[in-house]
Structure 1
Amino acid sequence: MKNIVILISGRGSNMEAIVDTCASEQWPARIAAVVSNKASAGGLQFAASRGIVTAVLDHKAFETREAFDAELARVIDGYAPDLVVLAGFMRILTEGFVRHYEGRLINIHPSLLPAFPGLHTHQRAIEAGCKLAGATVHFVTPELDHGPIVAQAAVPVLSDDTEGSLSARVLKQEHVIYPRAVKWFVEDALTLRDGLVQHNTGEPQLVLGD
């Protein structure tokens, strides 16, 4: 039974998808805790309603990013995590924190990495004339929005798309690939070699959505 700790800063819709899928598919894992840097994060209420332990650590109470990350790691380690999942955790993590969880820290980013790291990914995809947009689940490395790719989902960029409409369609696919990627990790179904991630039985790591 593997322990999963999920970090959020807001409503945590990807966290909800992971929690629900873990329960419905009866993974050999449990959500040990949901941790947020904001007491107002809507996802905390959802987690508590499912009987999941929650914790809040306000980054504003710390003078430096390093001090916050050190305390955050101490809190997380109290739940003995096998996997730490970033689900809309809006903090740039220090190299020390990332190294501490190397190989067991994953994130989802709303673009087809390596394209469009950073913010405003959907608007940038539209402005660039991209015909596809999407999301990427990846292992976290010290370089922001990089790291070995676990899974991706792609949707077409429609001629009348706005940032909001494209974002909504991509988010729907995020709720498919993120639980799937977490399940693969839990089942020891992933192999990381030379910076590339492969599913051990060849299950598709790309989802094509509408």
Structure 2
Amino acid sequence: MSEVPLERHYKESMPPLRIAVLVSGSGSNLQVLIDAMQTNELPIEIIGVISNREDAYAIKRAQLADIPVTVLSHTDSGKRMGIKTFQAHASAQLRAWQPDLIILAGFMRVLSTDFIDNAPAPMINLHPSLLPVYKGLDTHQRALQAGERWHGCSIHVVTAELDAGIVLTQALLEVRSNDSAETLQARVQKLEHQLLPWTVLLIAKGILNLQTVSAQPNDDSNYLPALPLKLWLNY
């Protein structure tokens, strides 16, 4: 399937969705959002980026786009910042920015219930598996070892339990017989670059209302949690 272009379905008078992004790595998904913002393909304004790593390339991407960046990797004494200290500083920064939406895009720290519950906006995470399977790390290798036919990525509401919040959207692909963890990761990343902006567009337009979405999956589900909207992208 060819890459799905974003269409400008929103009204030009519609105020942009104010977004803060938390990152830890290269920031390829952040770049997708930056590009969509700069070309007016998404009605968003990225008002700030928080990184827990000072060497994350995502910082450079944000700086090139003149987006404010806060780096919370080490204390003034040079020690790696503990999670409680990180959360205190990150919470203060998010309150100052007052975003409408917080996106975890390749952010690699587990956040506490207190941080999540007191965030100034709903928080979503992009995860490289078809949740609820393969929570946590090494999702591509684990999918291959299990002999999965299908794999992909999910966007879910953030909760204190790791990768356990209700799934909003998913994109999937068929695992190839010659796939390695590296090739599968690269293919899933292409899906991420489509799924994230489409999901943000649905939120910006009010089609996905995160204020009314339950943060917990449906306990009656045998495999997939109840989705408020299924957005399947095949690649």
TM-score (norm 2): 0.81
Q: Using the alignment, how far apart are the partners of 1:180 and 1:150 within structure 2?
A: 11
1:19 aligns with 2:19: no
Determine the structure 1 residue equivalent to 2:7: none
| CA 1:90–1:75: 2 relative to 1, 3 Å | same
Determine the structure 1 residue equivalent to 2:119: 101
User: Deviation of residue 63 (structure 1)?
Assistant: 6.5
Runs ≥4 in structure 1, deviation > 4 angstroms? 59-64, 192-197
1:114 aligns with 2:132: yes
Deviations 1:72-98 (A, max 9, x none): 111122111111110111111111111
Q: Using the alignment, how far apart are the partners of 1:103 and 1:126 within structure 2?
A: 36
Q: Using the alignment, how far apart are the partners of 1:28 and 1:6 within structure 2?
A: 16
Q: Which amino acid aligns with 1:90?
A: M
Contact 1:103–1:139 (Cα < 8 Å) also in 2: no
Q: Using the alignment, how far apart are the partners of 1:87 and 1:40 within structure 2?
A: 16
Superposition pairs for residues 55-204 of structure 1, below 5 Å? 55-58=70-73, 61=79, 64-101=82-119, 104-191=122-209, 192-194=212-214, 195=216, 196-199=226-229
Q: Using the alignment, how far apart are the partners of 2:213 and 2:107 within structure 1?
A: 27
State how many pairs are aligned: 205
Deviations 1:16-63 (A, max 9, x none): 111112332443320001111112111111111112111111256576
User: 1 or 2, which has the higher helix percentage?
Assistant: 1
User: 1 or 2, which has the higher strand percentage?
Assistant: 1
TM-score (norm 1): 0.90
Contact 1:102–1:141 (Cα < 8 Å) also in 2: no
Q: Using the alignment, how far apart are the partners of 1:131 and 1:193 within structure 2?
A: 30
Q: Which amino acid aligns with 2:18?
A: N
**What SS does structure 2 have at the residue aligned with 1:115?**
coil
| CA 1:41–1:72: 2 relative to 1, 3 Å | same
